[in-house]
Amino acid sequence: MSAYTAPLQDMHFVLNELAGLEQISALPGCEEATAETVTAVLHEAGKFSSGVLAPLNRPGDVAGCRWEDGDVKTPAGFVEAYQQFVEGGWNGLNFPCEFGGQGLPKLVASPVLEMVMSANLGFSLCPLLTGGAIEALLLRGTPEQKATYLHRMVEGSWTGTMNLTEPQAGSDLGLIRSKAVPDGDHYRIYGQKIFITHGEHDMAENIIHLVLARLPDAPEGVKGISLFVVPKFLVNPDGSLGARNDVRCVSIEHKLGIHASPTAVLSYGDREGAIGYLVGEENRGVEYMFVMMNEARYTVGLQGVAVSERAYQLARSYAADRVQSKDLADPRGPSVAIIHHPDVRRMLMTMRALAEATRAVAYVVGAAIDQAHLAPDEAARQEARAFVDYMIPIHKGWATEASIEVANLGIQVHGGMGFIEETGAAQYLRDARITTIYEGTTGIQANDLVGRKTAREGGITARSLIARMQETVDRIDPVDADLAIIRDALARGIQDYTACVEWIVASYGSDIRAVHAGAVPFLKLAGIVCGGWQLARAADIATRRLVEAGSDRDFLSAKVITARFYAEHLMSRVAGLRQTVIHGAGSTMALPVERF
Ligand SMILES: Cc1cc2nc3c(=O)[nH]c(=O)nc-3n(C[C@H](O)[C@H](O)[C@H](O)COP(=O)(O)OP(=O)(O)OC[C@H]3O[C@@H](n4cnc5c(N)ncnc54)[C@H](O)[C@@H]3O)c2cc1C
């Protein structure tokens, strides 16, 4: 099995050339993110990810987690690796300095997260969920709650969880039944939560659960759900750990992938009721969760990038080693490594192009998140916020769906060995499989995209995205054949995307089911076009840099070739998706439910 090598050169290219690191470093509070600091941070993160986390990936997958009478043991080596993660300050990278974080922008945290997730997706889920819980407390916690929890959580010595799902309430959080009963200055929480990532484990001293539950007499549906902070161990006024709270891990799930991440069933209030504290106002829990979910969805999209990159690296190294069959152009010569065969090249190029395109879209969205929070000008903040809100379902849905395609191709490149667990190729497909499900399935992302984000705002943000993409087309001077192909493919993609946007806006009121029947194809179309947009920008910049003295010609010309491959092989899917979006609903909905 190949080692993980952080793709630092591509990361730096995307950060600097596409995502505008320089502008982000100029934002108030981001002054620390100088080019030298970012280079050093990425270098160290690469070393930590490949040296400490990646070697635990396969053993962690094989061993999985163990439940023992309410406690959960993570695989061998995970406790020590997590300790190193905390000591290295990796947990607090983009959290505020006032709580012990390093205050670096989201854009800089993105490649670091990508590396950690590429190296070991199961491990990475613990800090990911801690990050979600930190965001919740930063957003709505009282000063006392912030003082009690945030330093330890930002440091990582306490971890966090997000407790939404219940057996009857998955995509539809309005069905949540867990109860919160007022009891003096706190509440008693009762109910069962399922599928709680790192809901119990042995890597940290305390676990801070963020829990959605209903107050007595709360209104039905999502408007009657409140958010509570429920620590596993209660915290004494001096910050030390107090009594064990009434929350127990009843079991952990046996699942397809991410074996190193315990997925817990948590029971609240089997005895006296778990003590919880209200976060923010009553009945506004789902609203708060949605603000944080945007950020969590961003990170799950990055998981897609991370798995694609790792699957590509593994397939590339296998294809370079595995000797099989002769070169078509040299039938009398020796057998060659399979990387010489055109079909293997096609698979590797598809994997590479999707990894690079999803990374480029991800970091561009990451930069916009920073702009939305920190741009000094209100109009600039609003513009960035609209872009982020629109792009989150596209990035999350498309990058994760793409990772399944990439990991699947990775198995194919390995031939029979891909089906055998030892090579590790199968793990990436198994791990990738959850990313299109949690934090809102692709179907839920696509509903959000066509409904709230496109139709209900009359296509305003979609059209401004179209204008930005068109600017790229207009700017590209097709000085050579590659750029001409890339530019034309993008121009056609924009036309198809525009046609779908206009159809969705026009049809939503009269035939909402038809629009939603094409929601996932539309999301995929939007993702492919956005990826083509970013790779076209990359090819344009790379072409100009190629003529500069001292430029890295191998890297830059590979960028152009990858963009051309994407234009010819992936952008060509867009026309078909347009047909499906606009004309496919009839057959989707024709068969009566009882005939399935
Ligand atoms: C490994 C793992 C870790 C998880 N971690 C957490 C966690 O830490 N915290 C937490 O709270 N939850 C967690 N979850 C739960 C996860 O977020 C849910 O599984 C997910 O939101 C989907 O809900 P569900 O499983 O109930 O599926 P359902 O909601 O039952 O959906 C089933 C299918 O129906 C589709 N569907 C449902 N409604 C619609 C609709 N309106 N339109 C179109 N299609 C629809 C879905 O897209 C899906 O294909 C985790 C789950 C797993 C498996």
**Closest CA to ligand 1's atom 43:** 443
- The set of catalytic residues is 439
Distance 210 CA to ligand 1 centre (A): 18
Least confident of 32-41, 94-103, 112-121, 284-293: 284-293
Distance 195 CA to ligand 1 centre (A): 9
Strands 206-213 and 158-163: parallel
Query: Which sign, positive or negative, has the C-alpha torsion 238, 239, 240, 241?
Result: positive
Would you state the pLDDT for residue 479?
A: 86
Give the mean model confidence (pLDDT) for residues 198-221: 97
Q: Where are the alpha helices (DSSP H) in 322-377?
A: 342-374
pLDDT at residue 571 is higher than 70:
yes
Distance 186 CA to ligand 1 centre (A): 30
Q: What is the pLDDT of residues 350-387, one digit of tens each?
A: 999 999 999 999 999 999 999 999 999 999 999 999 99
Would you state the pLDDT for residue 207?
A: 98
Would you state the pLDDT for residue 293?
A: 85
Give the mean model confidence (pLDDT) for residues 440-444: 97
Query: Which sign, positive or negative, has the C-alpha torsion 384, 389, 394, 399?
Result: positive
pLDDT at residue 307 is higher than 80:
yes
Q: Which of 438, 452, 512, 522 to mutate to test the pocket of ligand 1 (most atoms within 8 A of CB)?
A: 438
End-to-end CA distance of the chain: 43
**The ligand 1 atom nearest the CA atom of 255:** 1
Q: Please, which residues have CB within 8 angstroms of residue 448's CB and are 6 or more apart in sequence?
A: 393, 440
Closest CA to 109 of 27, 49, 47, 33: 33
Q: How far apart are CA 337 and CA 95, in angstroms?
A: 47
Would you state the pLDDT for residue 290?
A: 83
Give the mean model confidence (pLDDT) for residues 17-40: 95
Q: Which of 164, 172, 176, 195 to mutate to test the pocket of ligand 1 (most atoms within 8 A of CB)?
A: 195
Give the mean model confidence (pLDDT) for residues 457-467: 98
Q: What is the pLDDT of residues 483-511, one digit of tens each?
A: 999 999 999 999 999 999 999 999 999 99
Distance 481 CA to ligand 1 centre (A): 45
Would you state the pLDDT for residue 115?
A: 98
- As a 3-state breakdown, the chain gives helix, strand, coil percent values, each rounded to 5, of 60, 15, 25
SS3 164: coil
pLDDT over 70 percentage in the chain:
100
**The ligand 1 atom nearest the CA atom of 162:** 9
Exposure string of 380-397, with b = 16+ CB inside 10 Å and e = fewer, is eeebbbbbbbbbbbbbbb
**Closest CA to ligand 1's atom 50:** 195
Q: Is 235 left (phi over 0), alpha (psi -120 to 50) or beta?
A: beta
- Residue 129, Cα to own-chain centre: how many angstroms? 12
SS3 200: coil
**Closest CA to ligand 1's atom 26:** 170
**Closest CA to ligand 1's atom 17:** 438
DSSP string, 389-433: HHHHHHHHHHHHHHHHHHHHHHHHHTGGGGGSGGGSHHHHHHHHG
What global pTM score does this model have? 0.97
Q: Which of 441, 447, 452 to mutate to test the pocket of ligand 1 (most atoms within 8 A of CB)?
A: 441
Q: What is the pLDDT of residues 515-567, one digit of tens each?
A: 999 999 999 999 999 999 999 999 999 999 999 999 999 999 999 999 999 99
Q: What is the pLDDT of residues 126-184, one digit of tens each?
A: 999 999 999 999 999 999 999 999 999 999 999 999 999 999 999 999 999 999 999 99
Would you state the pLDDT for residue 292?
A: 80
**The ligand 1 atom nearest the CA atom of 163:** 11
Could you tell me the pLDDT band of residue 2, with boundaries at 50, 70 and 90?
low
Would you state the pLDDT for residue 295?
A: 84
Give the mean model confidence (pLDDT) for residues 50-67: 98
Would you state the pLDDT for residue 294?
A: 85
Q: What is the pLDDT of residues 215-237, one digit of tens each?
A: 999 999 999 999 999 999 999 99
Would you state the pLDDT for residue 1?
A: 55
In this structure, the residues whose C-beta lies within 6 A of any atom of ligand 1 are 129, 162-165, 170-171, 195-197, 255, 263, 434, 437-438, 440-441, 443-444, 447
Average pLDDT over the chain reads: 97
